[in-house]
Amino acid sequence: MKAIRVAALVLCGLCAAALAQAQELKKIKIGYPAVSYNQIHIWVAKEAGLFRKYGLDADVVFFRGGGMATQALVAGDPPIVNIGTVVLAGLQGYDVVLIGSSESTYNYSVVARPATAKLEQLKGKRLGVSGFGSASHTAALILLKKFHLEPNKDVMLVVSGPTPDRLAAMESNRIDATILTPSETPRARKQGFIEIFDMLDLGIEVQGNGFATSRTFIRNQRETALSALKGYVESIHYIHKNRDETKKIVAQYLRTADAEALEATYTAFVKTVAKRPYPTLKGIQYLLDDLAVKNPQAKTAKPEQFVDLSLLQQLEKEGFFAEMAKRYP
């Protein structure tokens, strides 16, 4: 009987300890706007327990495109999202800044119906984007400018939603082409569409998706923002070192077991995402120069106003990156 009482006390103690640990975790929502290679470190940080490791009970929330994710960030729910729309939102006066980055170039492809065999043949046709102000929309504007095609005159830009919706729109002949990431192009090829241009061939440095929050959130909850960034950074290192485990997690979020799609997603990430994920000021300036043609605010804006590098710099100073290099050699 005594042994039973002792066992019960031990069990209660363990339960209490587990409950106390759970209570110590800070709940937070972290958003992402696409099911794509440039978001997988958000998923891995969640599923591999890396947000939890730094004291966060993170709920990762999907938004249908960068525009909706940006609106949610501006409203403060969630307080952190991984988006490619910070510059546009900042120019509109919203309190949004990048504290980390997962893209310094556009690793996207233009995929089209078979009748459109090359990019120049897009003239007079419809190019689908996830939403106005989204990363795919910005990429489309840059692409058309490079090929001397005027948006909504030479090529009609059509808001068509996330990738599954855009592929369905191509199947039903509502759009003629769209812009996809490496995670999505294998599926498009299997549906009979063709890849007509790789945007990496443009050779431009441009700020794409990144870990975004507000200066208000950093000021009021700096430690929480720092903890989220630690999970974000360690996830990048984890992915580089753990191919199979990463692909298992990616399969859950892509909802596919397609080996080609999983490998393309993994390869694109490790090829393009830096282990020291600093936003690119040069890439932000590229966006500002491009936007300045039609946006007066962009002419006088400085890249520094769209970033807060203090958190990454704090991690550098505290030896966090050196620790990651040792842990994931």
Q: Measured between alpha carbons, how far is residue 219 from residues 59, 213, 223, 309, 311 in Å?
A: 22, 11, 9, 13, 11
What is the distance between the alpha carbons of residues 101 and 87, in angstroms, rounded to a whole number?
13
Q: What is the pLDDT of residues 254-292, one digit of tens each?
A: 999 999 999 999 999 999 999 999 999 999 999 999 899
E strand spans, the chain: 26-32, 56-62, 80-83, 97-101, 109-112, 126-129, 156-159, 177-180, 194-198, 210-213
Number of H helices, E strands in the chain: 16, 10
Domains and CATH numbers, the chain: 25-105+206-327 (3.40.190.10), 109-202 (3.40.190.10)
User: In whole angstroms, how large is the CA radius of gyration of the chain?
Assistant: 22
What does the pLDDT read at residue 23? 56
What does the pLDDT read at residue 121? 94
Q: What is the pLDDT of residues 118-135, one digit of tens each?
A: 999 999 999 999 888 788
Are 220 and 26 spatial neighbours (Cβ–Cβ below 8 Å)?
A: no
Smallest Cα–Cα separation from 97: which of 232, 218, 214, 227?
A: 214
Q: What is the pLDDT of residues 135-147, one digit of tens each?
A: 888 899 999 999 9
Mean pLDDT for each consecutive 10-residue tract of the chain (329 residues)?
44 42 83 94 98 98 91 97 95 97 93 94 95 86 93 95 91 96 93 96 94 98 98 98 98 95 96 96 95 92 98 98 97
Are 277 and 99 spatial neighbours (Cβ–Cβ below 8 Å)?
A: no
What does the pLDDT read at residue 132? 84
Collapsing DSSP to helix, strand or coil, 309 comes out as coil
